[in-house]
Structure formats: C-alpha cells, structure tokens
C-alpha cells in the first residue's frame, strides 16, 4: 500500500492526459466524431499506463442523435435574442419550425395544467424552475421532468421550453429518456433570464407567439465502443475487480468534471498499479 501511495503522489501524466481529453478532444457525445477520438485517447493512455491488454469493444445504440441549429424566434410581442439548446434525444420540430402560442405552466403541477386548460393544446409550454444548487435539486430536476412531460402529452401540447436551473445564461443539458428511445415531445432548455423575460410578458397579459426551430438529426442504430483494459490477476486471472467511468459527455462544455477527471483517474489507477510492479490477486 505505501508503494502505491508513493507512486500515486509522485510525478504523473494525469493532468496532461486530462488536458488532452478535455481541451483537445473536448465535448464527446456518444455517436459523434469527438467520441471516436476519445476512444482513441483512452486506448493510447491505457497502453502508456502499461496494462496487460487494452481493447475497444463494440456495442450498438438503438438511435443516434445530434443537435442542429436550435433557435427560438419570438414573433410577438417583439423579436429578441434567445439562448437555448435542445434537450437530449428530443425529437426534431418540422423543418420550418413549430409556430404556436406560448403558455406558462409554472411548476407544471396538475393544478397548473388545470389552470392552463384547453390553451395548452397545440401550444408551446414554458416550465419554470428553481435555481439548482444541491444534489437534491439536481435529482429533483431529473425526476420532475417525466411527470410534466406526461401531463404535457396528455394536454396535447406541441413542445416544452424548460427554464434553465442555472443563472447567467448557463445551459445545463440532460435528457429525459433512459431507454435509448426518442423523447415524446420537442423540448429545449432556455437561458434562465430569457425564459423569465418570456414569463413576464405572459404575466403582464400579453400574447406571446413563438417559433421553435429544432432540426435535431436522428439516425438508425449506430456502433459505438467501450474501452476495456486489463491487468491480469496472479492467482485468479478469470475473476474480475472492475473500475469504471463513462467517457462520453455533452458537447456544451469539455466534459472535465463529468466525467473526464474520472476517466483519467481510472487510467491513472492502472498506471500506478503497473508502476509499483505489484500484481493483484484477481
């Protein structure tokens, strides 16, 4: 153990390795060319770390998805710039966009939808949010969306605009489907300040008409790769201790925290084990 700690605390390629993944490969969405570069990065880095074997294992995702040039045109009361991105795996709008009235559904509760009534039908809904600061807020953000989408689908809405949970124009993208299928409605995350500006128009009793253009590209089944490296055990080479991290990230940032640092850490663990000359039992 002291040998491992000494090695882990010594000079390390970890930081430079992570810089290459985040700065040079950058955001790496599953299905993107950047993701292929990330796989090549991981294979090379594991080799450098001195593992017994490293390979890229193919698997298939049922659908590939990438974002086109998402935009929201405010037709009434006046045009102004809007910052937004599509929600992950949201279906595209028609090519010319979806033009509709904007309806504020507040927090998106049953009561909110009851209040909106028939006006939600065919409309683009605006869903408010609290500012996200804690882990609880984050999971609340994940958990509330499917319930609201259910209500939106039932009410016949055309699309949903989600107010970003981050301030100052920051957009935090995730997805509301976990099955590899397309989402049920076009949805975008709108910069908090821009969404609040829309909400103030509606609160002032003004009619807001918008056109949401979201030319997301959806493809058929696509082959992807996981990177698997092995240090074989000295006593039980057919048993496994697995250390893993996801390598992909959204392309809004460089995926340093989620999850580059952990991907680089798995490689670093392999390097340190190899560098000590110790061989694990399994």
Enumerate binding residues for a copy of itself (CB under 8 A): 19, 23-27, 77-78, 80-81, 168-170, 193, 197, 200-201, 204, 251, 253-254
Nearer to a copy of itself, 157 or 198 (CB): 198
Nearest approach, Cβ of residue 206 and a copy of itself (Å): 8
Say if CB 93 and CB 212 are below 8 A apart: yes
Nearest approach, Cβ of residue 262 and a copy of itself (Å): 20
Nearer to a copy of itself, 213 or 272 (CB): 213
Nearer to a copy of itself, 25 or 51 (CB): 25
Residues 6 or more apart whose Cβ sits within 8 Å of residue 184? 91, 149, 153
Nearest approach, Cβ of residue 273 and a copy of itself (Å): 28
Nearer to a copy of itself, 10 or 81 (CB): 81
Q: What are phi and psi of 95, to 5 degrees?
A: -55, -40
Residues 6 or more apart whose Cβ sits within 8 Å of residue 143? none
Nearest approach, Cβ of residue 225 and a copy of itself (Å): 20
Sign of CA dihedral 92, 97, 103, 104: positive
Nearer to a copy of itself, 13 or 253 (CB): 253
Nearest approach, Cβ of residue 26 and a copy of itself (Å): 5
d(CA 177, CA 281): 40
Nearest approach, Cβ of residue 271 and a copy of itself (Å): 20
Sign of CA dihedral 256, 260, 266, 270: negative
Q: What are phi and psi of 115, to 5 degrees?
A: -60, -40
Nearer to a copy of itself, 52 or 137 (CB): 137
| Nearest Cα to Cα of residue 100 among 181, 182, 185 | 185
């Amino acid at each position: 153990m002291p040998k491992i700690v000494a090695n882990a605390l010594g000079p390390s390629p970890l930081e430079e390795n992570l810089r290459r993944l985040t700065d040079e490969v950058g955001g790496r969405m599953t299905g993107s060319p950047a993701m292929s570069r990330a796989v090549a990065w991981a294979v090379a880095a594991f080799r450098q770390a001195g593992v017994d074997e490293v390979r890229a294992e193919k698997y298939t995702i049922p659908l590939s998805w990438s974002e086109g040039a998402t935009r929201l045109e405010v037709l009434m009361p006046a045009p102004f710039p809007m910052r937004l991105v599509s929600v992950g795996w949201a279906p595209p709008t028609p090519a010319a966009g979806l033009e509709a009235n904007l309806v504020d559904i507040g927090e998106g509760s049953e009561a909110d939808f009851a209040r909106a009534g028939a006006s939600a039908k065919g409309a683009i809904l605006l869903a408010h949010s609290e500012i996200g600061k804690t882990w609880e807020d984050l999971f609340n953000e994940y958990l509330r969306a499917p319930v609201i989408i259910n209500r939106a689908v039932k009410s016949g809405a055309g699309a949903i605009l989600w107010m970003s949970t981050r301030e100052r124009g920051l957009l935090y993208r995730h997805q509301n489907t976990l099955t590899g299928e397309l989402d049920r409605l076009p949805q975008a995350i709108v910069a908090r300040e821009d969404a609040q500006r829309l909400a103030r128009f509606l609160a002032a009793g003004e009619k807001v008409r918008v056109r949401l253009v979201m030319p997301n590209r959806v493809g058929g089944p696509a082959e992807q790769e996981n990177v698997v490296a092995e240090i074989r055990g000295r006593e039980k080479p057919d048993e496994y201790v697995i250390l893993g991290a996801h390598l992909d990230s959204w392309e809004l940032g460089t995926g340093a925290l989620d999850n580059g640092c952990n991907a680089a850490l798995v490689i670093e663990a392999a390097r340190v084990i190899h560098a000590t000359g110790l061989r694990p039992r399994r």
